[in-house]
């Protein structure tokens, strides 16, 4: 069996489109199947750390990120009463250490930039996957409209409710006990400080609030995480009640009160997790992003790890022959699974430490966070921000940091 593999990517989110763009850069064609019939602008803000931003800039997204995003200068963490706990410099320090800025962008702008890069030719809109099966040396994709397609490689980039993942393991999303309010507020409606290129986070008992400017500084994106009694649908378009948001953060200081007061339109959805996959790949099928390792948002790495997955997988599939596919997918899993598992576990752990009740444990947490304030905290993230996906140096960099 020789010749280039036919590659089918399921899902046109950030991970799927980054994979398509990375493959195209090497002259490797693919098809991207998306269940939506049109590419609507959805979502709110997303943080792009240097470990992902570096690769997106190499793909050619630098001008779009600079135009539509915000290069973050600093992250500040406060207590819910308004006292500064710690801060981390980004800006030029981040570029010097990790060769890329730390961006805050609107998810829709990032998706649009990736779509412009990929072009319309590989996209197959209105294709909701029903099942995937093997027929000798081919994978057979069955879609709900009756369409049948065949491929030599199937990549599930279809999110936390992945159909492709079901071919690997029968598990289910696990309710975290938390929900998240998300939204966008025009910066002009907020105090002047809201326009500063900062990520701000407030920690409090059982919940936290984070906000940062996007859309070239015109909009303030916020995410407010609070307890949720019952699990519900995980949906980008589920509406929330602004009054419920305001009540959940009543009495909080800083910009929290201003943002919650001016949030006219709120989205709210349930936060789900999944167990770590025992195996990412089976013969000619694999997964990436949330389909492989859904992450609670406490390390802001979900989109970043999807980009890393895509870059790593594209580097392996570029110029590959059909016969090599199973071995290459095994190498992809071996490279990516340990790293994403560590970040998944870290995100779960932060869900407790970020939400401590006021008291001795909270004061000790704040003391330790203050010790890592400033450049120290940025250097300590070398294992996260300095990782070079698509490079055999990646594992060594995780251990040693970036010089």
Question: What is the enclosing helix (H) or strand (E) of 14?
Answer: helix 14-25
> Which residues are CB-neighbours of 63 under 8 A, at least 6 positions away?
none
- End-to-end Cα distance, the chain: 43
Task: Assign 3-state DSSP to the chain and report helix, strand, coil percentages, each to 5.
Answer: 40, 25, 35
Closest Cα partner for 160 from 71, 291, 266? 291
Closest Cα partner for 235 from 32, 41, 43? 43
The distance between the two most distant Cα atoms of the chain, rounded to a whole number of Å, is: 66
* Alpha-carbon gap, residue 179 to 369, rounded angstroms: 25
- The 10 Å Cβ neighbour count of residue 338 is 11
> Is residue 48 within 8 Å of residue 305, measured between CB atoms?
no
User: 74-79 and 84-89 as β-strands: parallel, antiparallel, unpaired?
Assistant: antiparallel
Total number of residues shown for the chain: 403
Q: Which residues are catalytic?
A: 212
> Is residue 70 within 8 Å of residue 32, measured between CB atoms?
no
> What totals of helices (H) and strands (E) does the chain contain, helices first?
13, 19
Closest Cα partner for 217 from 101, 356, 70? 70
* Alpha-carbon gap, residue 294 to 275, rounded angstroms: 9
């Amino acid at each position: 069996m020789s010749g280039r593999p036919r590659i089918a990517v399921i899902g046109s989110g950030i991970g799927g489109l980054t994979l398509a763009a990375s493959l195209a850069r090497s002259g490797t064609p693919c098809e991207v199947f998306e269940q939506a019939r049109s590419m609507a602008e959805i979502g709110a803000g997303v943080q792009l750390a240097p470990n992902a931003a570096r690769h997106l800039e190499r793909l050619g997204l630098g001008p779009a990120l600079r135009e539509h995003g915000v290069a973050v200068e600093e992250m500040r963490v406060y207590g819910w009463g308004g006292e500064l706990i710690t801060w981390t410099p980004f800006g030029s320090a981040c570029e010097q250490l990790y060769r890329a800025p730390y961006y805050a962008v609107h998810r829709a702008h990032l998706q649009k930039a990736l779509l412009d890069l990929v072009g319309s030719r590989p996209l197959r809109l209105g294709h909701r996957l029903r099942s995937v099966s093997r027929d000798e040396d081919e994978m057979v994709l069955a879609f709900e409209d009756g369409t049948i397609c065949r491929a030599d490689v199937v990549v599930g980039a279809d999110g936390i409710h992945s159909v492709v993942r079901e071919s690997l393991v029968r598990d289910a999303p696990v309710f975290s006990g938390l929900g998240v309010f998300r939204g966008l507020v025009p910066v002009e409606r907020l105090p002047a400080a809201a326009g500063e290129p900062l990520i701000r986070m407030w920690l409090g008992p059982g919940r936290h609030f984070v906000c940062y400017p996007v859309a070239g500084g015109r909009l303030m994106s916020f995410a407010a995480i609070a307890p949720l009694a019952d699990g519900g649908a995980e949906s980008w378009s589920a509406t929330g009640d602004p009054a419920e948001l305001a009540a959940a953060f009543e009495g909080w200081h800083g910009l929290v009160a201003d943002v919650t007061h001016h949030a006219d339109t709120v989205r709210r959805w349930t936060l789900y997790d999944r167990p770590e996959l025992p195996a990412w790949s089976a013969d000619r099928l694999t997964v990436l992003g949330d389909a492989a390792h859904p992450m609670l948002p406490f390390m802001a790495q979900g989109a970043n790890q999807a980009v890393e997955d895509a870059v790593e997988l594209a580097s392996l599939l570029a110029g590959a022959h059909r016969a090599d596919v199973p071995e290459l997918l095994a190498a992809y899993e071996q490279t990516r699974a340990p790293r994403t598992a560590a970040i998944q576990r870290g995100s779960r752990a932060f869900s407790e430490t970020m939400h401590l009740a006021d008291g001795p444990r909270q004061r000790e947490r704040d003391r330790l966070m203050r010790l890592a304030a400033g450049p120290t905290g940025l250097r300590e993230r070398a294992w996260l921000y300095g990782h070079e996906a698509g490079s055999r140096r990646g594992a060594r960099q995780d251990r040693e940091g970036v010089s």
